Structure 1
Amino acid sequence: MSPLLRADGLTRRHRGAVALDDVSLGVAAGERMAVVGESGAGKSTLARLLLALDTPTAGTVTLDGRAVRPGSARSLRWFRRRVQTVPQDPGRSFNPRMRVGDAVAEPLRCLRVPGDHAARVAELLVAVGLEPDAVDRWPHEFSGGQRQRLAIARALAPRPDLVVADEPVSALDVVVRRQVVDLLARLSAAEGLALLVVSHDLGVVQRLCDRVLVLDAGRVVEEGPVPQVFARPAHPVTAALLDAVPTLAPVAS
């Protein structure tokens, strides 16, 4: 089966320095895939290229065989409807002057998604474990974990096929991190949603993802099913990341 999202030979150079070097990958419909690596490995550069937020020096990105290139909001509307993102910093991802209901509904308006937007927002707030009356509150009234739940709700609003999450729990404490990881797993299963999780934290990957790709200095050094790669890492970078795996604390009942 052809991948939903595919990258072939992606390379990105910045002023002569190679940030990404000949990276290829494919994410199937409904698959939960991780891209991991140490700081500076090229993870965020890859995410930006996959999201059409930057132009590769070489290589291509396609969604269901259709070329994806940076462009105007109008030209990318078809892509944004199908591919959304959960940002690393939930605190900075919301306009402080926009009430939560309007913020979660923003992609529905911008992408001209038909239907009852208020009903969709209420449905999403419940799905991420928040009360529907949160629509009238301001982002600063929520904790970091709650803002990340709101960011997930906003990403899911247009019913995308794929969500790219760049370090989605790195700003959260250990207990909240596990709650958000479990929420992503539950919602992706319920929605039939593909996930591409960019992270340096293999504890998150182990709990959330089916397959993992390891980057080092902008190149792919290892790839495979999570259980296989974790049990028998073939590259020193993977082994080092595994040695640094933190414990995700249990959630109190």
Structure 2
Amino acid sequence: MRLEARNVSKRYAREAWLFRQASAAFRTGDTVGLLGPSGCGKSTFCRLLAGYDACDEGEVLLDGATLPTSGYRPVQLIFQHPERAVNPRWKAGAIISEGWRPDEALLDSLEIRREWLKRWPSELSGGELQRLCIARALAPQTRFFIADEMTTMLDAITQARIWRTVLDLAQSRGMGMLVVSHDRHLIDRICTRVIDFRELAYGRHAVEE
């Protein structure tokens, strides 16, 4: 399966273009790193890829078709700040099972304590909420998993465990991954290909899978 951003552009209101005519393609089974300085548009680009925002120009295609807008989304995005990605009026158990019901093995591998599921988001730490968001996004229907600085609020040992879980699942399912991080060591260690977003931002370089 192929996920493609074709000449996509984005700006907010009448402000200057954040990026313009950016193109990149990704295939299931690949783990691609995305690098670039803060504020260059990486997170917005990820939102376009996942269908959270609309392109002002260009299009995002999944196997040549537009992204589905109903049902479970095959392109899942994990945000850096999990509190912005959950419904504060839902308890954690409802949040984690919004699209599917994660099994016990996955909960254990992400070190999710069962008592968390009875709590409100405001009663959980950012790291605890992030683990719930990761589990929620790892349904069998997920074909592309986009991680936007998803473990920056966690300690190094927990980061390593979570990445091992996600990478093992991606490999066993043939899931594609896009990893956004300022941690070049992490990118070099887990990714098979690296994109510098500054080379995409104004169509200077189209990256193919």
Is 1:160 equivalent to 2:153 in the alignment?
no
Q: TM-score under structure 2 normalisation?
A: 0.82
Give the aligned partner of residue 207 of structure 1.
189
| Distance verdict in 2 for CA 1:63–1:137, change over 3 Å | same
Is 1:89 equivalent to 2:81 in the alignment?
yes
Question: Which segment drifts farther, 21-30 or 9-18?
Answer: 9-18
* Amino-acid identity (%): 34
CA RMSD of aligned residues (A): 2.7
Q: Deviations over 1:63-96 (max 9, x none)?
A: 011123xxxxxx6125x43111212113443334
- SS of equivalent residue, structure 1 residue 17: coil
Counterparts of 2:85 and 2:11 in 1: how far apart (Å)?
27
Is 1:41 equivalent to 2:40 in the alignment?
yes
Alignment of 1:1-253 (within 5 A): 4-14=2-12, 15-68=14-67, 76-77=69-70, 80-108=72-100, 117=101, 120-132=102-114, 134-140=116-122, 142-157=124-139, 159-216=141-198, 218-219=201-202
- SS of equivalent residue, structure 2 residue 99: helix
Counterparts of 1:26 and 1:175 in 2: how far apart (Å)?
32
Supply the AA of the counterpart residue of 1:8: R
| Distance verdict in 2 for CA 1:220–1:42, change over 3 Å | farther
Q: What runs of 5+ residues in structure 1 fail to find an aligned partner?
A: 69-74, 109-116, 225-253
Counterparts of 1:53 and 1:150 in 2: how far apart (Å)?
19
For the Cα contact (< 8 Å) 1:104–1:157, is it kept in 2?
no
Counterparts of 2:125 and 2:46 in 1: how far apart (Å)?
26
| Distance verdict in 2 for CA 1:185–1:57, change over 3 Å | same
How many residues get paired? Answer: 205
For the Cα contact (< 8 Å) 2:24–2:206, is it kept in 1?
no
- SS of equivalent residue, structure 2 residue 137: helix
Supply the AA of the counterpart residue of 2:22: V
- How far off its partner does 1:143 sit? 4.4
| Distance verdict in 2 for CA 1:211–1:221, change over 3 Å | farther
For the Cα contact (< 8 Å) 1:211–1:223, is it kept in 2?
no
Q: What runs of 5+ residues in structure 2 fail to find an aligned partner?
A: none
For the Cα contact (< 8 Å) 1:167–1:197, is it kept in 2?
yes
Q: TM-score under structure 1 normalisation?
A: 0.69
- How far off its partner does 1:158 sit? 5.3
Counterparts of 1:123 and 1:140 in 2: how far apart (Å)?
26
Question: Which segment drifts farther, 32-41 or 151-160?
Answer: 151-160
Question: Could you say which structure has the larger radius of gyration?
Answer: 1
For the Cα contact (< 8 Å) 2:22–2:206, is it kept in 1?
no
Supply the AA of the counterpart residue of 2:167: A
| Distance verdict in 2 for CA 1:42–1:220, change over 3 Å | farther
Give the aligned partner of residue 231 of structure 1.
none
Counterparts of 1:166 and 1:51 in 2: how far apart (Å)?
12
Counterparts of 1:6 and 1:135 in 2: how far apart (Å)?
36
| Distance verdict in 2 for CA 1:127–1:172, change over 3 Å | closer
More helix by share: 1
